[in-house]
Amino acid sequence: MRIEARPKVNPKSIKTSNEASVAIAKLRDAIRYHNYRYYILDSPVITDIEYDRFFLTLLELEEKFPELKTSDSPTQKVGAEPRQELGLVRHPIPMVSLKTVYDESAVYTFDESCRRELGISKVEYIAEPKFDGLAVELIYEKGILTVASTRGDGETGEDVTANIRTIREVPLVLLSYEGEKSPNSLVVRGEVYMSFASFNALNKAREKNGESTFANPRNAAAGSLRQLDPKITAGRSLQIFLYSVAEATGREFKTQAEVLHSLSKWGLKTNIARTKICHDIKEALVYHNEMDELRDILPYEIDGVVIKINNLADQSRLGMRTRDPKWAVAYKFKPRSATTKLRDIIIQVGRTGRLTPVAELDPVNVGGVEVARATLHNFSEVLRKDLRIGDTVIIERAGDVIPQVVIPIESKRDGTEIKFQIPKDCPICEYPISVSSDKKTATCTNIRCPAQLRRSLSHFVSRSGMDIEGLGQKRIDQLIDAGLVNSISSIYLLTAEQLGELERFGDRSSESLIEEISKSKKQPFHRLLFALGIPQVGSQTAKILASEFGSMERLQKASLFELQQIDSIGPEIARSITEFFADADTRDTISELTRAGLSMSTMKGRSSTSSGKFKGLTFVFTGTLTRWRREEAATIVELQGGTVSSSVSSKIDYVVAGAEAGSKLQKAKKLGVKILSEADFAKLIE
């Protein structure tokens, strides 16, 4: 049976029970399908507002034709069937959803209903941000975390206890602050989410590894928490906010505000700082507008505001509908998605020669930002979504995440659309391109491709590379366009006279740039290795390679086996290094740089000095440091005779942990490696 993913149903035109039966069946099938995509696959194909429209239409028809309402209807359930391979957990009390509204009139209707049923003229509300994450339940027995689960279908969720334990913000044992003793048994609920910074870093890493990227932070958080291997979850930088108590033995609360304060005193993270008590519904609406303005500067995604009655006794008096409470409503923000025309698909060429498709769109306003381009990630994504030039498409933007094309609207095709074809040649230099079998990676085979050259040179002269001051992107473009530079090594053949003939170059600026280029020849070997742009080799790995092999000649001859003997270098990085040095153009470039006089070896062995207070010691830096950049901290260690590694093992002497330290810190604790705070490290070097 074929399911209509976007059934066209107009409830106003449906008059008979037979017509309603057909429409309801279509809507239920579509909603179940989208529940499966959203909750199980973490890969939605429609926007939230489209889903809500289908759901509300189904509700309307079931209310209009109550004889057609069934117990297995999506309106009677929350979420979707849990994945049994994770293990199942029965919730002590069902986890329900909230009624969703999109305009002020619906909020006023909610307020009027509450006041009428309670028989009072004014209601005190508490307004909280509505997080766009994954709902979870944590159960603590005698203050110890025993079980954690997802919402699942509301009655039964997936057992994610091992994965929840990897989230640093989740206490494994409850604490007691200000005399607030935690209850013997506590069932608490909240939302697991991923910050924009973590989401962007994760997608960047996945794209680099040729893996599919996540559509948004919510999907990334859900996919990360529901992994069968907790080690994968541990490396994903998940966070949590707790916001409600389902059960607390021996402890009673009068208000929702009191609940949040108690959770905080038990060591559970809440977002109480962003929560507001509102003395009437107008104050709640003002809060909604304030949060809508703030959402762009928050480090995480919120998609609306939850307005709850603050008094818990009043909540109890109002009670529940079938799938949502009468005492709360989720007032969503205007959606950050829009429809527009896909005018063209252009190809960008990166520093390593990787080709990336980019959508050129009819400009459209999405969440207050005009969008004319959107990422398409890779050729596999374009083909999987069957995007065609001329399609009407849905684009989405969340916070500071790059706009992306979600799906085409197939019903709007008129036959003039053009199917996308993967190009055979690079659009810049017309050399053949190499495409992986899964279509996720495509690379220009010409190392001297102008597009690659511009980006490669920019990387080569950067501060972490050869540090050539005065050679920014505009000047690089100018030199390439003038035909003076056609390779990395050719910058060392430039003369002041050649530069003096170019626009915006005087005698002084020409001589100054030549002097900077000449000075760069004295940069240490590890900087040159980083500057060459070896795929997957960052500045720290470059230092390790320089220390281990000592010279370019030895490194070029290194085998996969030799490279993988180094602690911090795995199979992928080793393969990348050997492939890079096997390339004939790479070998020509290195020969030219050698003739230009650049340093191709290091004479100082494994550390930059044979003595010093850190001689024989190995450090690992993890998390965000505030006093130094990681490269600066590593240099301090090396200048004092120490070694810096990028991975944690039993051979490490110290792990220096900054803010938001993750899996490396946890591994260090398990191995018993000594852990230093940034302040401890500062004292050590002083």
Active site amino acids: 130
What distance in Å separates the CA atoms of residue 301 and residue 12, rounded to the nearest whole number? 35
Assign 444 to helix, strand or coil: strand
- What is the DSSP secondary-structure string of 273-291? GG-EEESSHHHHHHHHHHH
Instruction: Specify burial of residue 431 (Cβ count, 10 A radius: 0-12, 13-18, 19+).
Output: middle
439, 423, 349, 335: which is closest to 385 by C-alpha? 439
464, 500, 465, 460: which is closest to 476 by C-alpha? 460
- From residue 35, alpha-carbon distances to 153, 351, 377 in Å are 10, 40, 25
- Please enumerate in sequence order all residues whose Cβ is within 8 A of that of 584, keeping only pairs 6 or more positions apart, or say none: none
What distance in Å separates the CA atoms of residue 448 and residue 486, rounded to the nearest whole number? 7
Cite the beta strand spans of 70-201 per DSSP E: 88-90, 100-101, 125-131, 134-141, 144-150, 156-158, 185-194
Whether 337 contacts 400, CB under 8 Å: no
- From residue 536, alpha-carbon distances to 345, 544, 573, 672 in Å are 28, 13, 6, 29
- Please enumerate in sequence order all residues whose Cβ is within 8 A of that of 180, keeping only pairs 6 or more positions apart, or say none: 262, 265, 266
Strands 355-366 and 337-349: antiparallel
